[in-house]
Amino acid sequence: MLQAFIISAILLIIGVLIMGFRIFFIKGGEFPNIHIGGNQALKSKGVHCATTQDREAQKKVKPLSNEDMMQEIIKKL
């Protein structure tokens, strides 16, 4: 039982060191930016993350007045 715990702890430590190699052993190392906003190829095509695209789309849409909203509700009834 103790032997299995020690082996699994050693494997876990080795796995963390391998995954964090860039962070632990390279000066100025950081996690790679895998976010859509950090991808130059997608930026050049005008692709953004969903939050940014939604914000841009909301700016283009004319906000509804209270009267317009009431008209929409009445139509659906």
Q: What per-residue confidence (pLDDT) applies to 12?
A: 97
Q: pTM of this prediction?
A: 0.41
Q: What per-residue confidence (pLDDT) applies to 5?
A: 95
Q: What per-residue confidence (pLDDT) applies to 8?
A: 97
Cα separations in angstroms, 39 against 29, 50, 77: 18, 14, 46
Q: Which of 59-63, 67-71, 72-76 has the lowest mean pLDDT?
A: 59-63
Phi first, then psi, for residue 29 (nearest 5°) are -70, 145
What confidence tens digit (pLDDT) does each residue in 9-48 have?
999 999 998 888 878 777 777 777 777 877 888 888 888 8
Mean pLDDT for the stretch of residues 55-68 = 85
